Amino acid sequence: MGLEEKLPSGFLLTSVEQLAGYMRKASLWPATFGLACCAIEMMTTGGPRYDTARFGMEVFRASPRQADLMIVAGRVSQKMAPVLRQIYDQMANPKWVLAMGVCASSGGMFNNYAVVQGVDHVVPVDIYLPGCPPRPEMLLDAILKLHVEIQAAPLGVNRERAARLAEEAALAALPTTSVRDLPLPTAARPELPGLVR
């Protein structure tokens, strides 16, 4: 049982949340998970020129049980999707996912049956990083933005409440419409078989 569960509701929770958020953001351990060309840019950030060690990310962990950040760098094939999910499930909680590059975010130019059209179909994603491939500076910027999210994340019961509210807000923001609900232009309406007007 963590410290946040032992504290009475509201007792010094703000300062404990700030301290825990600072410690979590300053000690991210990314998993070694490079899939395609974006992985080269990801590996570059660990070198002396960009030096992710100054942000508490000293080394990429070889074991998912030691990692709490998964940087999905590159396209995810249908064969790799179950492996990616297994690695995500083995990671330590709390955990975060960064989709690096347009292929990880939306399938990129690989719009076919063999590539997953967005890693968010397999694991929940916290940060989307565009680019083909994104530069190491862009990855560092995305990591710093993730730091801000981690710093502000609530603990314990508050974390579960915040996650539930965020999920409800996301579901409310995405209206589901069918093709039949979309208005057709009045001029030059084509006769489509099976389309009810």
**Can you name the residues that pair with 185 across neighbouring β-strands?**
none
37 marked as part of a ligand binding site: yes
Distances (CA, A) of 178 to 16, 82, 175, 181: 46, 30, 10, 5
31 is in an annotated binding site: no
Q: How many CB atoms lie within 10 A of CB 79?
A: 9
Dihedrals φ, ψ of 42, to 5°? Answer: -65, -45
Is 110 annotated as contributing to ligand binding?
no
Give the up-direction half-sphere exposure of residue 43: CA atoms within 13 A in the CB hemisphere.
Answer: 10
Strand 96-100 versus strand 127-129 pairing type = parallel
Binding-site residues from annotation:
37-38, 103, 132
Which residues make up each annotated binding site for [4Fe-4S] cluster?
Answer: 37-38, 103, 132
